[in-house]
Copies of this chain bind each other. A is one copy, B any other.
Amino acid sequence: MMAPAFSATLICLVETDARIGAAALDRLVDSALARSFDRITVDGQLSTSDTLFCLAGGSSDVDVAPSSEDEGRLGAALEALLRALALEVVRDGEGAERVGRVVVRGGPALVEPVARSIADSLLVKTALHGADPNFGRILQAAGQALGRAGHGFGASFPVDLRIEGRPMVTSGVVAELDAAVLADLERAVSGPEVDYEVTLPGVGGEAEVFFSDLGHAYVTLNAEYTT
């Protein structure tokens, strides 16, 4: 069970020696959280006692003034740190062997549900586990989310999909995948992290989600204990 939403199994403690007020630090933490722990999922099951503490002791004697360059630097450092920690959760997620990263761009209302649908799809997660560059499962998960959101594109679905930077689908048309292309692609998706980029109709929205694969170890871990 791991899909933080910071509404309430994960304790994260960050310390800085910067001198910054509680309200200003809160704003930096909220922003960094939205770009880190809020962007990860292991199995889509909301974890129920996630807490992040960020303590600023001030011993550095560096005053971080509102809207200053120092505040920007502290925010960027906090975000980089929290993203690294959040990714560790995904890598370490209940039997996980591989991390997927999906970025969806397009209409602002569409990108988040599509990214979550792809990241939480059992078919996408098992394909990631099997090092299978299965673009059909990505499109299916995208189409399911779009349909639920009331956006049907009918027979023509003008979507772009790149897997590990290789164009697989362009404006809804599948690339020619000869044996050499497939062999290259299969090597590309057998690494520790696999990148999926989806572009939907519309502009201005972008959503990024990191997710774990689904393998036998997940089943063993979750079917063989009780609580």
Contact = CB atoms under 8 A, between A and B. Distances in A.
Given A7-B147, A122-B44, A123-B45, A219 B222 contact: no
Interface in A10-53: 43-46, 48
A215 to B, nearest CB: 6
Contact of A1 (B44, B140, B223, B225): B140
A126 B45 contact: no
A190 interface: no
A141 B45 contact: yes
Chain A contact patch, size range: 35 or more
A221 to B, nearest CB: 8
Interface stretch (A55-63, A65-73, A99-107, A131-139): A131-139
Interface in A121-169: 121-123, 126-127, 129-130, 132-134, 136-137, 140-141, 143-144, 147
A46 B222 contact: no
Contact of A126 (B126, B147, B223): B223
Contacts of A140: 1, 45-46, 48
Given A45-B121, A48-B143, A147-B46, A126 B218 contact: yes
B223 A122 contact: no
A45 B144 CA distance: 8
Interface string A94-116: 00000000000000000000000
A215 B219 contact: yes
A223 B129 contact: yes
A144 B46 contact: yes
Nearest to A213: B223
Most B CB within 10 A of own CB, among A144, A215, A220, A223:
A223
Q: What 3 A-B pairs come out closest when comparing CB atoms?
A: A130-B223, A126-B222, A46-B144
